[in-house]
A and B are shown apart, each in its own frame.
Chain A
Amino acid sequence: MTGNPQGNLLEVRGLKKHFPIRRGVFSRVSGYVRAVDGVDLVLKQGETLGLVGESGSGKTTAGRCILRLIEPTGGSVVFDGVDLLGLSPAEMRQMRRKIQVIFQDPYSSLNPRMRVGSIVGEPLAIHRIAKGTDREHRVADLLCKVGLDPMAMKRYPHEFSGGQRQRIGIARALALNPRLIICDEPVSALDVSVQAQVVNLLMDLQEEFSLTYLFIAHDLSVVEHISDRVAVMYLGKIVEVADAESLYRDPKHPYTRALLSAVPVPDPDAKPQRIALKGDLPSPAAPPPGCAFHPRCPVAVEVCSRLEPKLLDSGGGHLASCHLVHPDGAGPPV
């Protein structure tokens, strides 16, 4: 791991986001969608934590809750010693200088009516960091850093390919010298060859600016490649966290195993030992009792439908929440 002794940059504890379901004439709240339901995450300074899960697992909502782009229902988000959920909107805006985000869709996340120079320079303008020619120089610098020609400043987003647009989005995220960047599926919309370019760029920038990444994605091979540690989410909860190598070599949670076994391998002679899952992802409005995964789990036992397993250490910082991994599930929660 590349983490240094400076400790944790971000600590997320018990993060929850329950979206109310409103029904009827008076919009009475008739239930909640538990999109994020008690997520604990720790990011060390300088590391990349991969957050994987299928659509609807809550990974994007979790990322946005950390930035308070969506207001969480509960829990705490401590960044560099400050609880973000206790900040006023003005204080939070100041804090966002240090936490930036890169979005999935490079087509919809850039304003088509703004020139690239204004898009990348906007954070500098909002935070009154630089103006005039100074700003222009900083923008040109940023564009160089992400591998674009500074002349790109004068052009509009539609003149660029998907990969180049994602570079513009990265330049914008870098403008304020952030410490943490939440990368929400940054390469999912890109072609394979361009994806590799952007992944390399993210790794180079991390080294140059000692950035910390929360890398949210559904592509397990990309996540394995870029992450120091990986957390797997299922139905609003983290089911397994470990350093990248041991998660992929020795997955503990049956869901992680199934997920890894389903990844298509670019080798025609590979004999897939696929673990089939029963049924579909349950609705997060009515998560199953006990372990949320038990109705689809190929190895579920009786206790799984009654008791919710805790996320416990099974040695060497490899955490998993499964009764079969921790038969005496009563151990101290981590």
Chain B
Amino acid sequence: MPPEAAPLLEVEDLRVEFDTPEGKSRAVNGVSFQIQEGETLGLVGESGCGKSLTAMSVLRLITPPGRIASGRILYRGRNLLTVSEPEIRKVRGKEIALIFQEPVAALNPVFTVGDQIAEAIRVHHKVSKKDALAEAARLLKLVQIPDAERRVREYPHQMSGGMCQRVMIAMALSCKPSLIMADEPTTALDVTIQAEILDLLRRLKEEFRLSLLLISHNLGVIAGSADRVAVMYAGRIVELAPVREIFASPKHPYTIGLLRSIPKLGERKRSARRRLYAIPGTVPDPYAHEAGCPFAPRCPDVMQACRREDPRLLPLEGGRKVACFLHHPAHPSSEAATS
């Protein structure tokens, strides 16, 4: 990790709530992290843990009934949650770009891909349509789309899923952002295409010194691309560490369980079919606001304090953080009550 440079993005105690007839759901419940310049932060977690909402909040793209209840999102020191609407619009795309999971759905089917990239350019820069289209072709070449001059005039349906994701990446790059947030960018793609897209993202990140927030449920994808990893569970970050440490010595019982439950390629021995390790139970109901650690009902190492008090994300040695009483003893008063 680079020494104490000012982070590019700093999220502090972000809370996103959904007010629904069933009650209030705390989808993001006090998330804090930083992204340094040129760094890739991997955000892992299972569906519903709040990882996509966290990214959407950064650009204020949360729509009702969801709302950002509190927190600060500092981008180059400026709080994006308090700037005016025209100002946040200038940040979207130009400073921070977003790449979605479903490339084919994210593109407009009735315009050529060139038109769509050109539109993104012309929102932020005063250039002629012709110049913007030429720039679009250049960008398609940059993301390694063969025959870019011709394909710039094609429609999304004429392209494969992998090609469409390259177009999305070209669009994200079009206004030279400093930060790209990629939300499950390869989940809809086949493995061979996935590997190509991840290679491309890594190369572009180096070339343009981009920062990347890479959201994925796939720990393999995270292992190959991220510098640091934040593991989310039930709306909060439960562990944050450099990528090597997360995989070599996970600290939070959820991270440990998650890593143990993925089948690893090439581990199989002849005729030995082991059961996979499975984390028992299911994720907690987002409407229930029970006291204590949200992972406590599924945790193999649960203690009494875990059911009473919510562990905070606190630092450990080596620039890592974990929210777990196994590593940070609970408050003395409740400690005494622990058997």
Contacts and interface: CB of A to CB of B under 8 A. Distances in A.
Interface of A: 1-2, 54-55, 161-164, 191-197, 199-200, 203-204, 218, 220-222, 224-226, 228, 243-245, 248-249, 258-270, 272, 274, 276-277, 280-281
A276 B198 CA distance: 13
B266 A249 contact: yes
26 contacts: A1-B271, A55-B161, A55-B190, A192-B217, A192-B262, A193-B46, A193-B257, A193-B278, A193-B279, A196-B278, A199-B263, A199-B276, A200-B278, A218-B190, A222-B263, A245-B270, A260-B265, A262-B192, A263-B220, A264-B224, A265-B223, A268-B244, A270-B224, A277-B192, A280-B162, A280-B163
Given A163-B282, A266-B219, A268-B247, 13 more contacts: A54-B191, A192-B262, A196-B263, A197-B279, A203-B275, A224-B266, A245-B269, A259-B192, A262-B194, A264-B194, A264-B220, A266-B262, A270-B224
Interface in B6-61: 46-47
A277 B192 CA distance: 8
B192 A266 contact: no
Interface string B271-286: 1011111110011000
Contact of B244 (A218, A222, A228, A269): A269
A102 B268 CA distance: 25
A200 B266 CA distance: 19
- Most chain-B Cβ atoms within 10 A of its Cβ — which of A161, A243, A263, A266? A266
- Most chain-B Cβ atoms within 10 A of its Cβ — which of A203, A260, A267? A267
- Most chain-B Cβ atoms within 10 A of its Cβ — which of A55, A191, A203, A281? A191
B245 to A, nearest CB: 9
A263 B263 CA distance: 12
B262 A221 contact: yes
A319 to B, nearest CB: 18
A249 B218 CA distance: 23
Nearest to B226: A268
Interface size class of B (residues with CB under 8 A): 35 or more
B293 to A, nearest CB: 16
Contacts of A194: 46, 282
B204 interface: no
Contacts of A245: 268-271
A203 B163 CA distance: 38
A224 B46 contact: no
A240 to B, nearest CB: 15
Given A191-B46, A196-B277, A266 B259 contact: yes
B225 to A, nearest CB: 9
A194 B217 CA distance: 12
Contact of B221 (A200, A221, A264): A264
B220 A266 contact: yes
B223 A267 contact: yes
Contacts of B108: none
Interface in B196-245: 196, 198-199, 217-224, 243-244
B247 A195 contact: no
Nearest to A278: B146
Contacts of A226: 273
B304 interface: no
Contacts of A218: 190-191
Contacts of B268: 224-225, 244-245, 248
A267 B247 contact: yes
Contacts of B128: none
